A and B are shown apart, each in its own frame.
Chain A
Amino acid sequence: MNLLDPQGPVAAANSTILVDSVFIMLAIVVPTIFAILAFAFWFRASNTKARYQPDFVYSGRVEMVVWAIPALTVILLGGVAWIGSHKLDPAVPVPGTGSPVRIQAVSLDWKWLFIYPDQRIATVNTLTVPAGAELNFQLTSSSVMNVFFIPQLGSMIYSMNGMVTRLNLRADNEGKLQGLAAHFSGDGFPDMMFDVNVISPLAFPDWVANTAKSGAVLNEESYKKLMQQGIERGRPTYRLDDPRLFDLIATQHIPPGPGPELISDAGRPHSGGHDAR
């Protein structure tokens, strides 16, 4: 999951900016640290060779330089930030080969649901995408906030209930990557890591066809079961019943996922502070 080993153009651009910014800053940080240590050492009280200048407390030239150095650095980096923010706006499509793939990701408690509306299929905790294709993500959440992040593909974006956020990526090389949830969402949060399979564009239609043969169907009913709090160890796949399911979730036609079940008084474990009444 090394950020400096990008597998797509977005991650490559992000990490280039990251590395460039570090080097721009190191150009002034390293000499400054060196100067601090050198001055501290040379002007130690026991060094009789150092000249004591108690009246050196103001110098217009020095002041100009010390304001100018950080200001110039920030102007340079500000340019990087301005251009970078516009070039790498997550909402802007990343052109690729073949037809774009639309993916609608929903963060659930505590798993990821990936809906492929055009292919009429859906998967849980596995994201399969063709290499080189433009990937358009739409994100929402069934309950609490979360963040969708595939480190080696780049930019992360929040998912929030009742809202749709957009993210565009492209995976250039076939292989297995890992994605993760990057905003704490409760007890099952660490189990929200997911596999990303980048397969050849030729194999993608076969994969879609195989998945569509899946016995399980994702509709409002089975979605409501899926959104109950719990960890999903398997990698279930679904045939999508209604391609508008994502919109129903995002517009809250399907109400937000419930929180923890309140266990009745009789069967209540000794768990601190839960209101049972």
Chain B
Amino acid sequence: MPAGRTVEGTMLGKLDWSAIPFEQPIPLIAGGVVLVGILAVLIWVVVKGHLPYLWHEWITSVDHKRIGVMYILLASVMLLRGGSDAIMMRIQQAIAYQSQGYLPPEHYNQIFSAHGTIMIFFVAMPFVIGLMNLIVPLQLGVRDVAFPTLNSVGFWLTATGALLVNLSLVIGEFARTGWLAFPPLSELSYSPGVGVDYYAWSLQISGVGTLVAGVNLVTTVLKLRTKGMNYLRMPMFCWTTLASNLLIVAAFPILTATLAMLLLDRYLGFHFFTNEAGGNVMMFMNLIWAWGHPEVYILVLPAFGIFSEVVSTFSGKALFGYRSMVLATMAICVIAFMVWLHHFFTMGAGPDVNAIFGIASMIIAVPTGVKIYNWLFTMYGGRIRFTTPMLWAVGFMVTFIIGGLTGVLVAVPPADFMLHNSMFLVAHFHNVIIGGVLFGAFAGFEYWFPKAFGFRLDERWGKLAFWFTFTGFYVTFVPLYVAGMLGMTRRLQHYDVAEWRPWMIVAAIGMAVLSIGVICQIMQLVVSIRNREALRDRTGDPWDGRSLEWATSSPPPVFNFAFHPDVRGEDAYWDMKLSAQQQSLDHEEPEYHDIEMPRNSPTGFVCAFFATIMGFALIWHIWWMVILGGIGAFATFVVFAWRDHDEYVIPAAEVAAIDRVNLEERRNLVSMAGAI
């Protein structure tokens, strides 16, 4: 071994030129395209002189609305990455009948692992957390979340995780173990590469971000509510946010601990989950699903909240059975923790254990069913406007019921004995995650976009996007249900069974239709931005909304509300509109006060910068760099903790100037409504 090599080896740990997959063109080209894209955007930003704007207004922003938008942007970008993985998998399974297809196993296995990891952790999670961040403080009638700077830290740590996952495309490899990295396959003996390390460290770092976001939102809902906003007057979305974030706070530490044990096995030769020395793989199974099942509800509860808002607004009615919905939400929150074993009925547990967990899993279907019926009765007697968000909501209700049916089916242990790990199961969880979470995220996106940016999205492209996605979903996943009934198991890189083939081809066609849906969604954004003046909403209330986020201008001023709204019942803003009391419309000029707001802080960004360095160094065993990153991240916190000023004052005159414009528009809106 040449001397130079040794030095390089020690300085850069396991990292050397062989980490770049020169012989695998697909990831390299994909990585190259992404890199060129990022560089192009960076150069454009610098040349056009947007850097100071980005830095002051976005990167260092602690405004919950800005952070929410950045979460959603991150999720959207990662949706394209995870979607590309899905397209590659569908094409592979369509052609790999009695052949190797175009993806060798070591590559295909990375793709399905990355697809699952990205879609759950870096698409679904940031999308719902982004929407919660953006909307919940507005719905509660407050000026910010409980811990604004921590909020920024949470976002940037999530972005760090996403960055590390994408880095694995070009430097090294990603896990080839599936998205939950089951040991012993994920242990050092069977996965000696850096793939599992990329997986685990990305999730450890972004997991801290998620936990921080959870603590922040729970505190916000519990402690920061405007005058009169007691628990049973909160909009449904706030309730589901509370339930979802309580689950985050309780469940994510389990994930962190489980992955920490796996990492101890891999880095320090521990034996938590190894075959040897008393390691126990079933312990991993139990722990990962003790997090994994609540995770499903962490994602879907906020979506339920979004649908509650959307259905009620566009039906022109208050939510039917509000208290019942609250009860159902909290019941789901609690039962979510009692069903994890249904993920491995086939591991040989006794009939009592299987039956009890099967029945517990079915019990969750009761509050979920109640929710469906309450949305149904919200529509009953309504005046339904079929805008894009409402289309997503109706599409969701139909699709989610079918997903619920197949879900209860696999909760029956003897049925699961045939369907566990099958394509039927794959179809089921895509049925609930696409039909529930993704449809919910899109509905929320369409519904609240005008609030965030002050103009509506183009309805024509939005409806096209819905119909293509809706149709594409069924064309893709019904064939997978059928394949599962034909005994097809998941994660097959190739197969020799003729009867599976036609269904894989239909699923690939469905994937193409789904992709057109995504393209329509992008077109909608482009067209709407170009026509933004025509789509401008000056009222702040484009949908005739019912909750407080519609009581302020769009986009809201940095302080959200000039005065803390006074809430007198459910559907606070609707009541205000009815009595035309909102924002002192019937008063003379109100007396404005100075408002204190938190200062921007680079803490989150700097902290994430060092976390990225540390994560990368840990993956590649570059120990000096680990220490550097660790000290940097810690020092950032120390600096933040010893800060002198963390707030600035917006003078009353400025508040007044901003609010007068809003009041003027609102007077017009109310007088117009009165005229009609």
Q: Judging by beta carbons under 8 Å apart, are B381 and A259 in contact?
A: no
Contact with A along B337-348 (1 / 0, CB 8 A): 000000010111
Of A88-96, A124-132, A205-213, A217-225, the segment with at least 4 beta carbons within 8 Å of chain B is A88-96
Contact flag A190-B494 (CB < 8 Å), given A3-B485, A74-B366: yes
Q: Judging by beta carbons under 8 Å apart, are B18 and A78 in contact?
A: no
Least CB distance from A200 to B in Å reads 25
Contact with B along A179-223 (1 / 0, CB 8 A): 011111111111001000000000000000000000000000000
Of A61-69, A97-105, A115-123, A240-248, the segment with at least 4 beta carbons within 8 Å of chain B is A61-69
Contact with A along B304-339 (1 / 0, CB 8 A): 000000000001111111101000000000000000
Contact residues, B7-58 vs A (CB, 8 A): 9, 14, 18-24
Q: Judging by beta carbons under 8 Å apart, are B412 and A77 in contact?
A: yes
Contact flag A11-B420 (CB < 8 Å), given A162-B275, A184-B178, A190-B494: no
Contact with B along A15-41 (1 / 0, CB 8 A): 101100110011001001101110110
Q: Judging by beta carbons under 8 Å apart, are B365 and A144 in contact?
A: no
Least CB distance from B615 to A in Å reads 15
Least CB distance from A47 to B in Å reads 9
Is A86 engaged at the interface, CB distance under 8 Å to the other chain?
yes
Is A226 engaged at the interface, CB distance under 8 Å to the other chain?
no
Q: Judging by beta carbons under 8 Å apart, are A187 and B176 in contact?
A: yes
Q: Judging by beta carbons under 8 Å apart, are A90 and B348 in contact?
A: yes
CB-contact partner of A57 in B20, B318, B359, under 8 A? B318
Is A236 engaged at the interface, CB distance under 8 Å to the other chain?
no
Q: Judging by beta carbons under 8 Å apart, are A151 and B418 in contact?
A: yes
**In the complex, chain B residues whose CB is within 8 Å of the CB of A15:** 418
CA of A165 to CA of B1, assembled, Å: 48
Give the number of residues in B that approach A within 8 Å (Cβ atoms): 107
**CB nearest to B284 among chain A residues:** A145
CA of A15 to CA of B18, assembled, Å: 50
Q: Judging by beta carbons under 8 Å apart, are B190 and A180 in contact?
A: no
Contact with A along B173-203 (1 / 0, CB 8 A): 1001110001011000111111100000000
Least CB distance from A90 to B in Å reads 7
Contact flag A53-B381 (CB < 8 Å), given A71-B366, A259-B190, A270-B21: yes
Q: Judging by beta carbons under 8 Å apart, are B362 and A77 in contact?
A: yes
Of B213-221, B403-411, B472-480, B644-652, the segment with at least 4 beta carbons within 8 Å of chain A is B403-411
**In the complex, chain B residues whose CB is within 8 Å of the CB of A182:** 420-422, 489
Is B163 engaged at the interface, CB distance under 8 Å to the other chain?
no
- The contact sample of 29 A-B pairs, CB cut-off 8 A, is A1-B488, A25-B408, A32-B376, A35-B376, A36-B397, A40-B379, A43-B379, A43-B384, A44-B386, A56-B320, A57-B318, A57-B320, A65-B373, A71-B366, A73-B369, A74-B408, A78-B362, A81-B411, A84-B415, A144-B185, A154-B417, A160-B282, A178-B497, A186-B185, A270-B18, A271-B193, A273-B173, A274-B192, A277-B9
Besides A149-B487, A273-B172, 15 more A-B contacts (Cβ < 8 Å) are A18-B414, A35-B376, A36-B372, A40-B379, A56-B380, A66-B369, A77-B408, A78-B359, A154-B417, A157-B346, A157-B348, A182-B420, A187-B176, A252-B276, A275-B193
Closest 9 CB pairs of A and B: A1-B487, A70-B369, A53-B381, A151-B487, A66-B373, A273-B172, A273-B193, A85-B355, A155-B417
A residues sitting closer than 8 Å to B (CB atoms) are 1-4, 11, 13-15, 17-18, 21-22, 25-26, 29, 32-33, 35-37, 39-40, 43-45, 50-54, 56-59, 62-63, 65-67, 69-71, 73-74, 77-78, 80-82, 84-91, 143-145, 147, 149, 151-152, 154-158, 160-163, 165-166, 178, 180-190, 193, 252, 255-256, 258-260, 262, 265, 268-277
